[in-house]
């Protein structure tokens, strides 16, 4: 299945990325290859096989581990924001976004 330039532009928009013209061409070729591989997988007959939520999913045995409801984390503002390119008032600073 070929992924064309307009598909890439749509993904670009959804991911709020800005790609150069060359990158768009490059990605359409590379992502097309991924889809080709998925097309190949589609040849496998999965009639009557339930979708799998996880490779570890075995309904009788593998449920998720659960946490007890206690507060064990937080109170580490510095750790949380120290890698932010910009911060103020103990908050992350981002370009103004009002939607």
Partner 1 sequence: MSKNYVKTSTGTWEVVIGLEVHTQIKTNSKLFSGAATTFAGEPNSQVSFVDAAMPGMLPVPNKACIEQTVKTGLALNALINLVSVFDRKNYFYPDLPQGYQISQLYHPIVGPGYLEIDIDDTVKKIGIERIHIEQDAGKSVHDVMPSSSLIDLNRSGIGLMEIVTQPDIRSGEEAMEFIRKLRLLLWYLGTSDANMEEGSLRADVNISMHRPGTPFGTRAEIKNVNSIRFIGQAIEYEINRQIGLLEEGEQVVQETRLFDAAKGVTRSMRGKEDAQDYRYFPDPDLLPVILDEGFVQGLKDSLPELPDQKKKRFMESYGLSKYDASVIISDIRTPTYFESAVKNAGEKEGTAKLIANWVTTELFRVLKEESLEIDQSKIPAASLAELVNLIQDGTISGRTAKEVFLDMWTTGKPAKIIVEEKGLLQISNTSELEQLAENVIQENPDVVQKYKAGKDKLLGFFVGKMMQLTGGKANPKIVNEILVKKLSE
Please tell me whether residue 82 adopts helix, strand or coil conformation: coil
**Number of residues binding to partner 1, judged by CB under 8 A:** 42
Instruction: Report the residue number, 14 or 41, with the smaller CB distance to partner 1.
Output: 14
What's the closest the beta carbon of residue 86 comes to partner 1, in angstroms? 8
Among residues 21, 48, 71, 85, which is the contact residue for partner 1, using CB under 8 A? Answer: 71
What's the closest the beta carbon of residue 44 comes to partner 1, in angstroms? 19
Binding positions for partner 1, 4-63, rule CB under 8 A: 10, 13-16, 53-54, 56-57, 59, 62-63
How is residue 87 annotated by DSSP?
A: E
The residues near 22 (Cβ < 8 Å, ≥ 6 apart) are none
Burial 13-34 (b: 16+ CB within 10 A, else e): eeeeeeeeeeebeebbeebbee
């Amino acid at each position: 299945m070929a992924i064309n330039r307009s598909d890439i532009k749509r993904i670009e928009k959804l991911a709020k990325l800005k790609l150069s013209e060359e990158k768009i061409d490059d990605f359409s070729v590379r992502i097309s290859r991924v889809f080709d591989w998925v097309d190949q997988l589609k040849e496998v007959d999965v009639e009557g096989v339930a979708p799998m939520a996880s490779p570890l999913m075995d309904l009788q045995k593998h449920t998720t581990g659960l946490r007890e409801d206690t507060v064990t984390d937080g109170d580490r503002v510095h750790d949380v924001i120290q890698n932010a390119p910009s911060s103020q008032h103990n908050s992350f600073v981002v370009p103004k976004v009002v939607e």
